[in-house]
Amino acid sequence: MDNRRYYGLDALRGGMMLLGIVLHGTTFYLSDPPPQMAGMPLDPRRSYLFDLVFHFIHSFRMPLFFVLAGFFAALLVEKRGMWGTYKDRAARIVAPLAASIVTILPLTLIAMMDVLVAARFGVVEALPDRAVVRRIADEMRSAGASVGEPSILHLWFLLYLCYFYVLMPACAWLVKSSLRVEGGVQRFLASPLAIVFFGLYTAATLWPFHGGQVHDGFLFLKPHVPSMVYYGSFFVFGYCFHHYRDVLKAFVRWAAAGAVMAVVLFPLSLWLSHHDTQSGAPHLAAVIAHGLCTWAIIYAFTGAILRFFDYESPWILYVSQSAYWVYLVHMFFICTAALLLTPYDLPAIAKYAIVVSFATVCCFATYHYLVQRTWVSRFLNGKRFDLDWPWRKARAKEAVAVEA
């Protein structure tokens, strides 16, 4: 039985959640937005810096999230069995998803529409005019964006988790079948060849996407098969990693090599995407570069976190326990801040800094004072918490150490 507390993976999961604020904060300040945002009215002040931030974080954040989701799903199966895991996931994932769709999602969609109306027509209002919204939708549709399908915005992650949990019996069978060659699998996962294998496999799943970049399809309520295959692969890998837990040591061992690969592959992958013709050698080069880049960054981040943050800490505890709430509400606060800043002629970097700071403070303040000690925390996490601000605990520990 695996009874270890994975502090490093908790820190990684919390860190990826915070990167969600950093990533989505760039949305309204992109100079060259991806295809699914074609024709979308954005803030008049923009910068290519945010395009780089957007593409970098997007290249690995959600794949890594699904690896972690698969890993912890396998851990839960080991502790509670398959049926117990399904009951737990229904309570912790399906129920919050359903509740968020009828509460948080409508508010976030309204706030986002408000931002688009303000950027396009200079009008700031709480409830956007429906005729104006339809006009923006028509403009986006004419520009090639997918408009008209029901979107669940950032909640797509929970929806896809529901799909992938169906795969758990198949994942368990895959792990069981691999036991005949367990030694060989362990040696393979410990070698640098694993990065190449995972990268090439991911490249194959990227083939349907223009430029090898997954930017469209997954935000809608309707299942998008290419996105499910792409992200589902990471979930399956993560599930298998739990049995072959020595792979975590390999992540640490090859973290530096992954970082070097990422430094080379990230700019190369963006250049290849820009020159992709969606067929032949250019497309093959783009998908291979992106597949390898994604796994290089996964190795680099995971290895670094496990090496330097795999220990008990009030900061890690606080961020990991608040991560679910932060994930659910951060888009609403980002859109609200972006809306309020739209009329002001400030540099893009200043607007972005204010948006990210505002969203971060609001997310953690609402968690600290309105969520952690209430039924909402029990609904999301299965229990209530009474966590103090982490810097206070850190100072208390330092004081005890000095007195000792």
- Residue pLDDT, tens place only, 366-396: 999 999 999 999 999 999 999 888 887 655 4
More confident residue, 135 or 303: 303
The alpha-carbon radius of gyration of the chain (Å, integer) is 22
Are 13 and 301 in contact by the 8 Å Cβ rule? The answer is: no
Matching residue, tokens 């508010």: 107
295 pLDDT higher than 80: yes
Calpha distance 154→218 (Å, rounded): 10
C-alpha closest to that of 286 among 270, 306, 309: 270
Are 309 and 11 in contact by the 8 Å Cβ rule? The answer is: yes
pLDDT tier at 133, thresholds 50, 70, 90: confident
Per-residue model confidence (pLDDT) at position 403: 41
3 pLDDT higher than 80: no
More confident residue, 233 or 143: 233
Domain ranges of the chain: 7-403
- Residue pLDDT, tens place only, 301-354: 999 999 999 888 888 899 999 999 999 999 999 999 999 999 998 999 999 999
Per-residue model confidence (pLDDT) at position 132: 85
Per-residue model confidence (pLDDT) at position 402: 39
Per-residue model confidence (pLDDT) at position 394: 54
Percent of the chain predicted with pLDDT > 90 = 71
Average pLDDT value for the chain? 90
- Residue pLDDT, tens place only, 31-87: 988 877 777 888 888 899 999 999 999 999 999 999 999 999 999 999 999 999 999
398 pLDDT higher than 70: no
The whole-number average pLDDT for the span 247-252 is: 94
More confident residue, 146 or 177: 177
pLDDT tier at 2, thresholds 50, 70, 90: low
Matching residue, tokens 């009874």: 3
| Residue 189: count of CB within 10 angstroms of its CB | 21
Write the single-letter amino acid at 50.
F
Calpha distance 294→213 (Å, rounded): 11
C-alpha closest to that of 38 among 116, 139, 131, 143: 143
Determine the 3-state secondary structure of 220 from DSSP.
strand
Q: Which range has the worst mean pLDDT, 123-127, 167-171, 268-272?
A: 123-127
Per-residue model confidence (pLDDT) at position 392: 79
The whole-number average pLDDT for the span 356-370 is: 96
- Residue pLDDT, tens place only, 174-209: 999 999 999 999 999 999 999 999 999 999 999 999
C-alpha closest to that of 159 among 245, 66, 251: 66
Those residues whose C-beta lies under 8 Å from the C-beta of residue 358, and which sit 6 or more positions away, are 333, 336, 337
DSSP state of 254: T
Per-residue model confidence (pLDDT) at position 288: 96
For the chain, the maximum distance between any two Cα atoms, rounded to a whole number of angstroms, is: 69
The whole-number average pLDDT for the span 253-259 is: 96
Calpha distance 207→226 (Å, rounded): 9
Q: Phi and psi at residue 30, in whole multiples of 5°?
A: -80, 135
Per-residue model confidence (pLDDT) at position 393: 65
Are 61 and 292 in contact by the 8 Å Cβ rule? The answer is: no
Helix %, strand %, coil % for the chain, to 5?
Answer: 75, 0, 20
